[in-house]
Each structure stands twice: as structure tokens, then as C-alpha cells.
Amino acid sequence: MKKAISLLATITLLSGCASIFHGISQQVAIRSNQPDVDLYVNEAFIGRGNGITTFKKKKEYVITARKEGCMPASIPASKSFDATTLLGMFIDFGIISILVVDGAGTGAWRKFDQTSFVIDPQCDKTLVAPKPVQQLLRNKKLKNKIKKKIYKYTDDAR
């Protein structure tokens, strides 16, 4: 009888309903509509074009898409309350199972709103600022002035 009570107490103390039913992490798929986009989660590279990773419910995540010549795009992975957490009220009135296990211990009381993300960098040419030197050299008059000064400087040095 003591073993049964201690086993029941241990199970009650070590588990919360949200962590039992939905786990403490979620698998997330991230992809881009462009195959040559580098995808990052919290600045850690996860793949090119698409990737699958696991998000722990206790942590916060930011997904970023980067491509050469484009403005990077970032989106946060949002979370909401997982209603199965409330089942802990039937186990121990929620004192241990909700507050300690699902809340502070595992973060399982929240779930990610999405498990599939599509993110693309902003590749509109008006958003990408050209390099300063290239921008200056596009002006033909300025380009000719720079050439004259360079040649004059090199001729004076001889």
C-alpha cells in the first residue's frame, strides 16, 4: 500500500497534464518560397530553402530568412495557452502539476500557435541599398571627375 501511494505521489509530482498530453517541445517546419534562402532560428542556421527543427515550449524563438542582396526578414514564433494544463486541477488542484511542472519546470502550459512557417526575405530592389562606391560610380559626371583625379594623382607621383 505504501508503494502504491508513493508511486502515485511521484507520478503526480513529476508530471503535469500539458506535458503528458502534448509534451514539452513541438516539431516545427520552416520553409521559403525561394530555394536559395538561408533559414535561421535564434541566429542558428537550420537549412537552405527549408528545414525542420524542434522548439522547446519554455524558450522564445525568432525565425530569420536571409539571402544575398536582399533585406532579411524575421518573425517571432508566437505562443498561446494550452487548455490541457487545466486538467491538473483534477490531480492536485493544480498546485504542483500546473504551477511547478507545466509552468515553471517545462513551459508546457503554452503551445506554439503555428507548426509550419513560410518566410521570405524582402528582395524588392528599392529596399536594398547599393554599396556606397557603386552608387557614386553610377553618376557618369562624378565617375569622370574621380578618374581625372586618380590619373592626375598618379601622374604627379611619377
Residue 47 has pLDDT above 60, yes or no: yes
pLDDT tens column, 62-115: 999 999 989 999 999 988 877 676 666 666 666 666 555 655 667 666 788 888
0.75 exceeded by pTM: no
Query: Which parts of the chain are beta strand (E)?
Result: 25-31, 38-41, 44-48, 50-56, 62-66, 73-76, 79-81, 110-112, 116-118
- Measuring CA to CA, which residue among 54, 72, 55, 74 is closest to residue 63? 74
Domain total of the chain = 1
Q: CB of 65 within 8 A of CB of 121?
A: yes
Name the residue range of residue 109's domain: 2-127
Determine, yes or no, domain membership for 52. yes
